[in-house]
Homo-oligomer: A and B are copies of this chain.
Amino acid sequence: MFDKLHEECGIFGIYSQTKGSDVAAQTYMALYALQHRGQESCGIAVCDDGVIHYHRDLGLVPDVFDKETLDKVGMGNMAIGHVRYSTTGQKSRSNAQPLVVRHIKGAMALAHNGNLTNAMELREGLEMNGAIFHSTNDTEVISYMITKARITCGSIEEAVCKAMYEIQGAYSLVIMSPSKLIAARDPHGFRPLCMGELDGDYVFASESCALDSIGARFIRDLDPGEIVVVDKKGVRSITEHCTGPGHFCVFEFIYFARPDSVISGASVHTARMRAGSFLALEHPVQADVVIGVPDSGLDAALGFSRQSGIPYGVGFNKNRYIGRTFIQPTQRERERSVRIKLNVVDATVRDKRVVLIDDSIVRGTTTGRIVNLLREAGAKEVHVRISAPPFLHPCYFGTDIDSRDKLIANKMSIEEIGAHMGADSIGFLSVDNVTKIAEGAKCGFCIGCFSGEYPVEEPKKVQKNKFEVKISENLETAD
């Protein structure tokens, strides 16, 4: 709704030792818990005694799944699920996941979170050998790489392991063969993936909140590079690609993940509060109340309040009913749209010096409008504090910061940004402190979008229609 970065996916998988289990229902509920990671499309694939049934479509979980569609995918002993965010206005059903394909050894279903950095090169190589592609997403490339490896490998997990030498970039995967459930995380561990247990069944999910939602017990995060295989013989791990603590996307802690999730041993909620504390130390200000932009700024606002001693207040009411279908009939309404979504609680801010906490600024337009709303409601001063450093560089690992041009921090100095927004002062979290927010986390971090230093080589070829949903190549013009 607002001017935010977007994660691209959430994934889930479950393996039950009991045939005919209601694994689809578990997946359905888990996808609700992961919905914040992707709202464009979703899908569930169930494996029942070697046969895979699936349903996927554009829309939120409640749009795509009802009693009828859940019954259609049916009972089974394994299931995987996926929620996907589209980073462009265009939406395509053909990009919905899980991807279900048939290859030389049978059927395979995949759900994927992340972005490959060498997808374009791999794709061209495959096409040179006669491959055809139905979609533009990396998941189809991964399927081909596993399929190719499978021809010479003795098992699906070996094929996954072999393919991982060739695919580069960010990926967390759940893969379902007729008899196995496989979860894998790239050697840098950019995207989260954890493992749990539910009445003896194994489950995998992008975030621990999905385990909570189905009552599963959290076991541990997968290590960067780890492959976990579950089948009737039990669970085992392949650690051939495990090389170190990895580079986990710090923005998962700042914004993407749900506050009630725990990642690498650190609570997301606590990390956000700590980000607020650091902010209060780095950019102190005299003020009467600290408020956060709902929902993602609230935790940091509470942290700022506790550190600074300035009282925490409820500054806004967020309208929970405004969704994707909201119509803005006229220009007059368009300008007022922030107000419709977010109304100031006047009593909190009138005649007060206000500290306003938001978690990040991409283009800056929304924050400016919010500052203006606070002024109209009688705030005497508005001090903007951002619980992340400024975005300066693109992300190649599964979020939608794909262009330097749109980032306000590349066009203005920090002071100019504050002035542009009409703030009395502005302060961003420092790059130094951002990696310290997840206290106790047992992982390294990727902070490429802030620092420009990436843990892996930047892609040589960026697929020019990376997010194009229509098939739109015109290479054929030569013939």
Contacts and interface: CB of A to CB of B under 8 A. Distances in A.
A200 interface: no
Contact of A343 (B22, B33, B321, B475): B33
A61 B312 CA distance: 33
B101 A475 contact: no
Contacts of A105: 475-476, 478-479
Copies in the complex: 4
A177 B128 CA distance: 18
Interface stretch (A247-255, A326-334, A412-420, A445-453): A326-334
A11 B172 CA distance: 41
Interface string A297-321: 0110010001000011110110111
Contacts of A320: 36, 295, 320
Contact of A340 (B33, B326, B330): B33
Q: Which of A260, A319, A321, A347 has the most CB of B within 10 A?
A: A260
Contact of A302 (B35, B312, B317): B312
Given A133-B101, A340-B32, A106 B156 contact: no
A317 B260 contact: yes
Given A33-B340, A327-B28, A336-B215, A106 B474 contact: yes
A126 B148 CA distance: 11
A29 interface: yes
A70 B475 CA distance: 26
A127 interface: yes
B321 A32 contact: yes
A25 B476 contact: no
Given A105-B479, A128-B151, A267 B346 contact: yes
A302 to B, nearest CB: 7
A343 B311 contact: no
Contacts of A206: none
A65 interface: yes
Contacts of A313: 302
Contacts of A306: 311
B132 A143 contact: yes
A155 interface: yes
